[in-house]
């Protein structure tokens, strides 16, 4: 079985969201991610709204900062990672990022900001 590290800074840390998305609660540990700042995105997907109870969700935006964004690192199997992908709306894209503690984890960041960043680095 393959395992994956997933860094969460938002609703996937909520036990009720975990039960809705994964069918069980996840074990995790605190950590931080750098190189991003927190923004907000308004969610309209009815299933995500029902699971999270909120239309405004945090989103990571690339930034040249060293201040860490606090969150939780979870160890997921393939099925849980697919479920997380299904939960996250099109405003987010999954990317690999370094953790303050060392190592790397998947994290969901702003899809539009990530796309814009890719375009500037491709030019």
Model pTM score: 0.85
What is the per-residue pLDDT across 40-93, written as a single tens digit (0 to 9) for each?
A: 988 888 988 898 898 899 898 888 877 789 999 999 999 999 999 999 989 899
Instruction: Determine phi and psi for 43, rounding to 5 degrees.
Output: -95, 135
CA dihedral 105, 102, 10, 2 (to 10 degrees): 30
Expressed as residue numbers, the domain containing 26 is 3-122
Q: How far is CA 65 from the centre of its chain?
A: 18
pLDDT tops 50 at residue 121: no
pLDDT tops 60 at residue 30: yes
Q: Give 61's strand partners.
A: 37
Q: Sorting pLDDT into bands at 50, 70 and 90, what band is 9?
A: very high
Q: Return the pLDDT at 68.
A: 84
- The CATH number for 57's domain is 3.10.490.10
Query: What is the average per-residue pLDDT within 16-29?
Result: 96
Instruction: Determine phi and psi for 9, rounding to 5 degrees.
Output: -120, 5
Determine how β-strand 3-8 pairs with β-strand 69-77: antiparallel
pLDDT tops 80 at residue 20: yes
Asked whether the CA dihedral 82, 87, 90, 93 is positive or negative, the reply is negative
Determine how β-strand 92-98 pairs with β-strand 36-42: unpaired
Query: What is the average per-residue pLDDT within 99-115?
Result: 88
Instruction: Determine phi and psi for 105, rounding to 5 degrees.
Output: -145, 155
Question: Cα–Cα distance between 63 and 47 in angstroms, integer?
Answer: 30
Q: Return the pLDDT at 72.
A: 98
Number of domains in the chain: 1
Query: What is the average per-residue pLDDT within 21-50?
Result: 92
Question: Cα–Cα distance between 80 and 83 in angstroms, integer?
Answer: 5
Q: Return the pLDDT at 67.
A: 78
């Amino acid at each position: 079985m393959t395992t994956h590290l997933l860094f969460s800074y938002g609703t996937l840390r909520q036990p009720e969201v975990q039960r809705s998305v994964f069918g069980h609660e996840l074990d995790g540990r605190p950590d931080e991610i750098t190189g991003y700042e927190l923004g907000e995105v308004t969610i309209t997907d009815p299933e995500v709204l029902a699971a999270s109870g909120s239309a405004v969700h945090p989103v990571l935006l690339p930034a040249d900062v060293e201040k860490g964004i606090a969150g939780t690192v979870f160890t997921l199997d393939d099925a849980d990672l697919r479920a997380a992908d299904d939960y996250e709306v099109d405003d987010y894209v999954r990317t690999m990022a370094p953790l303050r503690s060392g190592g790397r984890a998947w994290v969901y960041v702003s899809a539009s900001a990530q796309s814009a960043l890719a375009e500037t680095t491709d030019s």
